[in-house]
């Protein structure tokens, strides 16, 4: 009964968010659809509701101070009972990816003095190598779970420090190094595929490129098109260079 009530609550929240998103006609909608279509079969799609269920179950298990090797089996069993059919490894890897994306957005929000992640368009998110189209409500749920765990850690272990912002900084959600590197490999592969797709789209002059669509008009010339291609390719190549540097660091750390 408790699991059923929990599932209904999470599904209701997901439906409300989905209905709200359906009313929006933002410029990211087509990119979001394209990104979802490119997801690998090896990493099955997770709906927004399923991700809320996973985050909630991770938070529940962590708050219960479950520190055994069966933790992820417990999380997977709970998710399956709530209709989220995922294996132990799929739950673990998805959480690690969500937490990594959350951490990158959190770092950006703490360091940036100019613009918030939530006001960036898709092109800017790609150029800055930030997570693409991360849901704000999901971010909030992860943050609540992390803060609850940090409070639990502080109560059980006094060895903690304070950041300059005043936030409690602890070991947070510890992830095995090998597992985290594997997830980084997957994330780098997704980024490389995305950049390759953008290069092809720019060379073809596809209408999905928002900046090109904005400049298109009756008076468009071949020279203007070439200039647009050059500017966009420079942006993408800059992003590719950053991704390659990250891959190099990852290889060195793993070696």
Q: CA-to-CA distance for 58 and 85, rounded, in angstroms?
A: 15
CA distance 90 to 42: 10
**Domain limits at 106?**
2-175
211 and 134 in a common domain: no
pLDDT digits (tens, 9 = 90+) for 139-171: 999 999 888 877 766 555 444 433 333 334 444
Claim to verify: residue 44 and residue 114 sit in the same structural domain:
yes
Q: Are 121 and 200 members of one domain?
A: no
Please check whether residues 153 and 199 belong to one and the same domain.
no
CB count in 10 Å sphere of residue 222: 7
pTM: 0.51
Distance of CA 121 to the CA centre of its chain: 15
> Are 228 and 119 within one domain?
no
Q: Express each pLDDT in 84-136 by its tens digit.
A: 999 999 999 999 999 999 999 999 998 866 789 999 988 888 888 899 889 99
138, 222: one domain: no
What pLDDT is attached to residue 65?
52
Q: What would the pLDDT profile of 193-209 be if each residue is shown by its tens digit?
A: 777 777 767 776 665 55
The verdict on 114 and 206 lying in the same domain is: no
- Number of domains within the chain: 2
- Last residue within a domain, chosen from 175, 201, 229: 175
Q: What are phi and psi of 253, to 5 degrees?
A: -65, -35
Looking at the fold, whether 170 and 210 belong to one and the same domain comes out as no
């Amino acid at each position: 009964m408790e699991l059923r009530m929990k599932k209904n609550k999470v599904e209701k929240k997901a439906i409300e968010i989905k209905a709200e998103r359906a009313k929006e006609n933002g410029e990211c909608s087509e990119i979001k659809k394209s990104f979802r279509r490119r997801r690998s079969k090896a990493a099955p799609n997770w709906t927004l509701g399923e991700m809320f269920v996973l985050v909630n179950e991770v938070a529940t298990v962590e708050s219960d101070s479950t520190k055994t090797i069966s933790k992820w089996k417990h999380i997977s069993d709970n998710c399956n009972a709530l209709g989220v059919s995922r294996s132990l490894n799929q739950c673990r890897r998805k959480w690690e990816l969500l937490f990594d994306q959350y951490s990158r957005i959190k770092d950006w929000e703490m360091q940036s003095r100019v613009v918030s992640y939530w006001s960036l368009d898709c092109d800017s998110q790609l150029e800055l190598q930030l997570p693409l189209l991360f849901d704000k409500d999901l971010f909030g749920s992860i943050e609540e779970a992390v803060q609850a765990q940090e409070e639990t850690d502080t109560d059980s272990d006094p060895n903690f420090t304070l950041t300059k912002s005043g936030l409690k900084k602890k070991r947070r959600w510890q992830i095995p190094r090998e597992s985290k590197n594997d997830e980084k490999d997957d994330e780098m592969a997704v980024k490389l595929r995305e950049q390759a797709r953008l290069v092809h789209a720019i060379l073809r002059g596809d209408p999905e490129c928002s900046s090109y669509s904005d400049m298109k008009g009756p008076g468009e010339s071949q020279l203007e098109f070439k200039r647009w291609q050059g500017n966009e390719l420079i942006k993408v190549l800059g992003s590719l260079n950053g991704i390659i540097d990250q891959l190099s660091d990852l290889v060195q750390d793993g070696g």
